[in-house]
Every structure is written in C-alpha cells, then in structure tokens.
Amino acid sequence: MKKDIILCGVGGDGIVSVAKIISDAALNKNLNLKQSEIHGMSQRGGSVFSHLRISDKPIYADVIPEGQADIILSSEPMEALRYLPFLSKEGCIITNSEPFVNINNYPDMEKVMAELNKIKNVVAFNANEMAKVVKARSNMVLLGATVPFLDLDLAELENSIQHIFGRKGEDVVKSNLAAIRAGYEFAIKAK
C-alpha cells in the first residue's frame, strides 16, 4: 500500500486539520508516514499545502516528486491547478468547485474548470453548500470525498475525527462525522 497525497488550499480552509486526520488514521493502522507542510501567508489567505506520504514500506523522503501524487485534495479549484504537475497519470483530484477569490486577477472559473476536467479522475463539487447542509466545514466534506481513493476505511477516519476533535465536544465531533459521511456518499455516487 502506498499513497502520495497533496493537500492544498488557502489559509484557514482546514487543510492542516485534514492532513492531521489522515495521518492519525494511517498511524493507527501501523503504516509509515512522512509529511511536509507549508503554511505560506495563511493569515492573509495565502497558499497552504502539505505533502503526505503513506506506505506499508519505509518512506525515505517527505516531498512527493512531480508526476507521482496519487491524490490532490484541494479546498479551492485554482489551488488544484497549481499542483497539477505533481499528479500522476492515474491520479485523481478531489476539489471544491467554489473558488476562494482572494486576488484581483483570479482566472475565469470556466477556464479553471475546463483545465481540471482534462484530468481523467476529477471529483469537483460545491463542498461549501454540502457543508452548510450538515452544519460543518467544507474541509471535512472534502475529506469524505477522498475516502474512496484512500487505502483507509471511512470508520478509521471517523475514529481519528473522534480522537482529534473529542476534546472540543460532542457537537463538533457529530458535525464533522456528518460532513465526512456526506462527502463520502457523494464521491461513491460520482465514482
């Protein structure tokens, strides 16, 4: 088992939390893990990304080489485009289709989506709207949509959510669990 995942987005979107949940689930399964994070100018809506490498064999580097990522998980479509050079030919993209417009010259969304749709395996959907329905954050919905492409079970990630967010109270855990399940169900139907 080996998964190389690039998680990317904009500061404040919860990308670091998603990486933490996946990492916790992988470690609970006794898998090897390497992670590299760049927080950028996160306080001003800057680019945030993480390289996350999971394997049942030893991992010697924490940075994913170009053309080797199995998954790009993005909280924002333009950020998914930014990391396309890292995606393998058989890799998949899971992205929120709603942009976070934090620059004056944000590209036309039709052009952004046209570029993303050139990729064979893309799951692009409005995670913000789905998150509103379950009263949670879109990062958890996106994590759920990633589950069918991971070698981790939904239950393993749910356990990690309970472990990581348990101290924040039952309501936070329940909303995050509802969000991950909503994203998972969407991806299963879209796959």
Per-residue pLDDT tens over the stretch 109-164: 799 889 999 998 999 999 999 999 999 999 999 999 999 999 899 999 999 999 99
Residue 191 has pLDDT above 80, yes or no: no
Nearest 5°: phi and psi at 90?
Answer: -100, 5
Whole-number Å distance between alpha carbons of 46 and 165:
25
Q: What's the pLDDT at 104?
A: 78
Whole-number Å distance between alpha carbons of 9 and 48:
5
Q: What's the pLDDT at 10?
A: 82
Residue 62 has pLDDT above 70, yes or no: yes
Average pLDDT score over residue span 38-49: 65
Number of neighbouring beta carbons within 10 Å of residue 174:
16
Number of neighbouring beta carbons within 10 Å of residue 63:
12
Q: What's the pLDDT at 39?
A: 59
Whole-number Å distance between alpha carbons of 174 and 49:
26
Residue 22 has pLDDT above 80, yes or no: yes
CB contact at 8 A, 178 and 136: yes
**Which residue type does 120 have?**
K
Phi-psi group of 169: left, alpha or beta (phi > 0 → left; psi -120 to 50 → alpha; rest → beta)? left
66-107 tens-digit pLDDT: 999 999 999 999 999 999 999 999 999 999 998 887 777 877
pLDDT band at 41 (very low <50, low <70, confident <90, very high): low
